[in-house]
Amino acid sequence: MPEKATLAQLEMAQAVVYDYLKPTPEICWPLLSQRCGCEVWVKHENHTSIGAFKVRGGLNYLNDLCKNNTPVSGIISATRGNHGLSLAFACAQKGIPLTIIVPMGNNPEKNQSMKALGAELLVFGQDFQEARERAEVIAADKGLHLIGAFHPLLMRGVGTYAMEFFSQVSDLDKVYVPIGQGSGICGTISARDALGLTTKIVGVVAENAACYALSFEQKTSVSTETADTIADGLACRIPDQAALEIILQGADNVVTVSDQEIRCAMKYYYTDTHNVAEGAAAAPLAALLKEREQLSGKAGKKVGLVHSGGNADTKLLISVLED
């Protein structure tokens, strides 16, 4: 059975991550709280060196790989962006060649950022799953070290943001976390349990990429034929089994939000906090607004939102702000 990260593992990951990054801020924004009808705290992972939470996982994974002297001629992975940026940043620190596979139509700015960090970028497939399968083939053909989007070392790394969040903001009743392949929510569940807290963890997915919501509802892995959403960080159609089991054990619920709700939340982040949020990062706010009525009348309700990244496609952002 998949295991959550322990307190010792999360603290070890913190020591690794803090060699490269400072803790990111937690801010209670008055306009956002007013809009949501409760006390809202935002964990700003858009303030990392790559503009997203994933960098923590890449650093922890590469540190372990190099510490154990694992022979590696190069690394390969598939991504819609932030996972690739994470590995590109970490590989640049370690001097290890990196190949990244992205699907056609991927965010051009994320692509440019990965190449600027030194990654070789290949375009293949209609979506993340096809790019992932291509990465597996190339890894086998060329003898490259394949890193998937979910792994215990990645989970421990990204779980460090949750350690910061829970340590700096006490008595959070509920935290909304976006789900792509699951490292973020599993790290958050791990940190909550390791610290002995009772905070409810709610996962958030796009309704057009709802495999984790369907799987949570049916208590078994459910795949979808497509994952067509503006939130590229949520655009997966096959759940990771290890991540799903941790989510089933530790999440309170998984909420689906529409692309239009995500667009509104992207705009509210900008108007209420002047922070840019990519689609996946805006999804937790969209879910909180969708569930606002459930929180009405409950005085003192304190809610956390994981702002997972600010790497929004410029054309999409302009369109959102013009709506």
Hey, how many other C-beta atoms are within 10 angstroms of the C-beta on 21?
18
Backbone angles phi, psi at 118, to 5 degrees: 105, 0
Pairing of strands 39-44, 302-307: parallel
User: 161: helix, coil or strand?
Assistant: helix
User: 180: helix, coil or strand?
Assistant: coil
Half-sphere exposure for 79 (CA within 13 Å, toward CB): 27
pLDDT at residue number 299: 57
Distance CA 117, CA 63 (A): 18
Query: Radius of gyration over alpha carbons of the chain, in Å?
Result: 18
> In tens digits, what is the pLDDT along the chain, a chain of 323 residues?
578 999 999 999 999 999 999 999 999 999 999 999 999 999 999 999 999 999 999 999 999 999 988 788 999 999 999 999 999 999 999 999 999 999 999 999 999 999 999 999 999 999 999 999 999 999 999 999 999 999 999 999 999 999 999 999 999 999 999 999 999 999 999 999 999 999 999 999 999 999 999 999 999 999 999 899 999 999 999 999 999 999 999 999 999 999 999 999 999 999 999 999 999 999 999 999 999 888 765 556 999 999 999 999 999 999 999 98
CA distances from 56 to 3, 35, 180 (A): 19, 31, 16
Distance CA 157, CA 183 (A): 9
Distance CA 254, CA 47 (A): 26
- The domains located in the chain, with CATH, are 7-52+152-322 (3.40.50.1100), 55-146 (3.40.50.1100)
Distance CA 270, CA 310 (A): 11
What is the pTM assigned to this prediction?
Answer: 0.95
Q: Do 100 and 82 meet the contact criterion of CB atoms below 8 Å apart?
A: no
